[in-house]
């Protein structure tokens, strides 16, 4: 195999027929190269604005394929991307010309109900995890869309409906089996390779490929107390301050978010919200559904909703998949930051921006943080600063490719303007548009953890093989 090094820190895949045939005999999973029938479907990631053409995709079938794939990339100096759910909005699951190790066929989930632990292979999605854990009335804190990958979400932190009760997804990680840059397979846990274990809880895919996650699971559902209420968007001026007060007073069991969005004119949506600009107030109680109903009631009773979807969502899994359709087939670019407070200035800014979004598919998303998430010290995991009670995410999205440049510019200028709000700081790196190249944002988010992260990177990946991510460069 010959390579060139014209792209990033690695080279392109250039294979002749004999070399490809040899690799096909070596790997158990499928290999796909440009022009082959399944190649285009395999190279696509969630964000339609990302259109990358890898030189080779290996659909890994297990640890052995991952190890051989890592060795192949290292020995031939190939630019390497690792793909699980393919949801990273910056397209970190793919790469032009290089090698993609696609983990999607490694999606096994095994629940141990007695110990309340769950083993999850590195390419599984949260929908696959929820399906197995809910059999036992258990759940692992994950995301709010069922097709998002466990891999990227957990390694970058992970917020959803359970984080205020039980912490980020990465806080619920008990151990991980990791293929390192030198092709070795190690366990990372509090007892084994503790520095690596620290780094993968927030430091992303910088340190190796996780082939197996072991999580702690918690009793949740199937029935849960929740709120999914749609208001006319103009009502946000009155409702957002009220929602903030409820959110700040809520117990840890309650996680809530507010969203300025527009519903598509789809027959599959209830008539009152079809094609409407809306403020969505959503909340869930992580605990007993009957007890939770009282805690959730104020979120349902806010204002005069145009539609209350709550009663139509039968259980936890349905809630977890509730945004799936709205979140697909989009050209997307996201920017986020954290806020210490939603004061009058911040509320007025958010409402004005929410009312003037540049595309119906673009949303402003305000999840509440705090609770268990904030009780973990910033240096206890790589994730960094956890002190802010609110996140503010500008999810610039469109179904019209010709509007993509406009929505992306809106996300950039609006998030930059938001940085002058009181106590604005950092960024949620799982929601990062182009922070991969913006070391200021990485430095700000990781803070004092950055020098330790770079030292661990030097130890585990000194030549930065794992570079298609929010990249932490090895210490000098």
Ligand X SMILES: Cc1cc2nc3c(=O)[nH]c(=O)nc-3n(C[C@H](O)[C@H](O)[C@H](O)COP(=O)(O)OP(=O)(O)OC[C@H]3O[C@@H](n4cnc5c(N)ncnc54)[C@H](O)[C@@H]3O)c2cc1C
14 bridge partner residues = 2
Q: Does position 339 bind ligand X by CB under 6 A?
A: no
Nearest distance from residue 80's CB to ligand X, in Å? 9
**Peptide bond preceding 337: is omega within 30 degrees of 0, i.e. cis?**
no
The three-class DSSP label of residue 125 is strand
Give least dist CB 153 to ligand X, A: 4
Q: Does 144 bind ligand X (CB under 6 A)?
A: yes
Q: Tell me the number of residues near ligand X by CB under 6 A.
A: 35
**Binds ligand X (CB under 6 A): choice among 148, 214, 276, 336:** 148
The answer to whether residue 210 forms part of the interface with ligand X (CB under 6 A) is yes
Residue from 46, 107, 175, 214 binding ligand X (CB under 6 A): 46
Q: Determine, following the binding rule CB under 6 A, whether residue 384 of this chain makes contact with ligand X.
A: no
Q: Between vectors from CA 144 to CA 141 and to CA 146, what angle results, nearest 5°?
A: 95
Query: Which phi and psi angles does 72 have, rounded to 5°?
Result: -60, -50
Q: Pattern 305-334, binding to ligand X, x per CB under 6 A?
A: ----------------------x-------
CA-closest candidate to residue 279, choices 255, 316, 304: 304
The structure tokens 């510019």 sit at: 409
In angstroms, the CA 475 to CA 472 distance is: 9
Q: How far is the CB of 350 from ligand X (least distance, A)?
A: 19
Nearer to ligand X, 327 or 347 (CB): 327
Q: Which of 11, 97, 205, 354 binds ligand X (CB under 6 A)?
A: 205
Q: What is the CA radius of gyration of the chain?
A: 22
Within 211-365, where are the H helices? 236-249, 289-301, 316-320, 344-355
How many Cβ atoms from other residues are within 10 Å of residue 195's Cβ? 14
Asked if residue 160 binds ligand X (CB under 6 A), the reply is yes
Closer residue to ligand X (CB): 347 or 468 = 468
Q: How many residues does the chain have?
A: 476
For ligand X, which residue of 31, 120, 209, 224 counts as binding (CB under 6 A)? 209
Establish if 335 lies at the interface with ligand X (CB under 6 A). no
| Residue of 29, 97, 98, 156 interacting with ligand X (CB under 6 A) | 156
- Where residue 142 falls (left for φ over 0; alpha for ψ -120 to 50; beta otherwise) is beta
**How is the chain split among helix, strand and coil, in percent rounded to 5?**
35, 25, 40
Closest distance to ligand X from the beta carbon of 177 (Å): 10
Binders of ligand X in range 98-137 (CB under 6 A): 103, 122
Residues 6 or more apart in contact with residue 16 via CB below 8 angstroms = none
Binding mask 60-99 toward ligand X (x if CB under 6 A, else -) reads ----------------------xxxxxxxx--xx------
Helix, strand, or coil here: 310? Answer: helix
Residues 343-358 as b or e (16 or more Cβ within 10 Å = b):
eeebbebbbebbeebb
| Residue among 127, 141, 149, 426 that touches ligand X (CB under 6 A) | 149
Q: What is the spatial distance between Cα 312 and Cα 103, in angstroms, rounded to a whole number?
A: 34
Give the residue with the Cβ less far from ligand X, 231 or 365.
365
100, 120, 153, 450: which one binds ligand X (CB under 6 A): 153
Residues of the shown chain interacting with ligand X in the complex, contacts defined by CB under 6 A: 46, 82-89, 92-93, 103, 122, 143-145, 148-149, 151-153, 155-156, 158-160, 204-205, 209-210, 327, 430-431, 468-469
């Amino acid at each position: 195999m010959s390579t060139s090094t014209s792209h990033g820190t690695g080279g392109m895949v250039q294979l002749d027929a004999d070399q490809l045939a040899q690799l096909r005999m070596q790997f158990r999973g499928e290999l796909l190269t440009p022009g082959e029938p399944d190649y285009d479907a395999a190279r696509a990631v969630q964000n339609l604005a990302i259109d990358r053409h890898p030189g080779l995709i290996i659909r890994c079938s297990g640890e052995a394929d991952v190890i051989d794939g890592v060795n192949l990339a290292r020995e031939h100096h190939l630019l390497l991307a690792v793909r699980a759910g393919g949801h990273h909005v910056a397209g970190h699951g793919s790469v032009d010309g290089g090698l993609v190790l696609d983990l999607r066929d490694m999606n096994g989930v095994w629940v141990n109900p007695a110990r309340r632990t769950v083993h999850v292979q590195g390419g599984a999605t949260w929908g696959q995890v929820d399906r197995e854990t809910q059999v036992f009335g258990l759940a692992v804190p994950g995301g709010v869309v069922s097709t998002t990958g466990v891999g990227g979400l957990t390694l970058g932190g992970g917020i959803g409906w359970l984080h205020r009760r039980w912490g980020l997804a990465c806080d619920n990680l008990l151990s991980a089996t990791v293929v390192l840059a030198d092709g070795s397979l190690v366990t990372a846990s509090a007892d084994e390779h503790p520095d690596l274990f620290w780094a993968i809880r927030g430091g992303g895919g910088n340190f190796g490929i996780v082939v197996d996650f072991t999580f702690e699971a918690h009793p949740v559902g199937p029935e849960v107390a929740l709120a999914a209420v749609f208001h006319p968007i103009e009502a946000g001026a009155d409702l957002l301050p009220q929602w903030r007060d409820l959110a700040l007073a809520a117990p840890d069991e309650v996680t809530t978010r507010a969203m300025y969005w527009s519903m598509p004119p789809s027959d599959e949506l209830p008539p009152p919200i079809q094609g409407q600009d809306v403020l969505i107030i959503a909340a869930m109680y992580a605990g007993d559904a009957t007890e939770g109903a009282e805690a959730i009631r104020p979120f349902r009773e806010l204002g005069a909703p145009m539609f209350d979807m709550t009663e139509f969502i039968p259980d936890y899994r349905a809630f977890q998949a509730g945004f799936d359709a709205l979140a697909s087939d989009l050209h997307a670019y996201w920017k986020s930051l954290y806020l210490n407070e939603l004061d009058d200035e911040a509320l007025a800014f958010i409402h004005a921006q929410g009312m003037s979004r540049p595309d119906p598919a673009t949303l402003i998303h305000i999840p509440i943080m705090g609770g268990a998430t904030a009780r973990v010290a910033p240096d206890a995991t790589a994730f960094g600063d956890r002190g802010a009670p609110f996140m503010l995410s500008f999810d610039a999205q469109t179904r019209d490719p010709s509007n993509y440049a406009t929505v992306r510019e809106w996300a950039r200028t609006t998030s930059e303007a938001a940085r002058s709000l009181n106590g604005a700081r950092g960024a949620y790196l799982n929601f990062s548009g182009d922070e991969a190249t913006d070391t200021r944002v990485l430095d700000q988010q990781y803070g004092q953890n950055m020098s330790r992260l770079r030292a661990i990177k030097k130890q585990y990946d000194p030549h930065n093989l794992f570079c298609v991510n929010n990249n932490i460069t090895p210490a000098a």
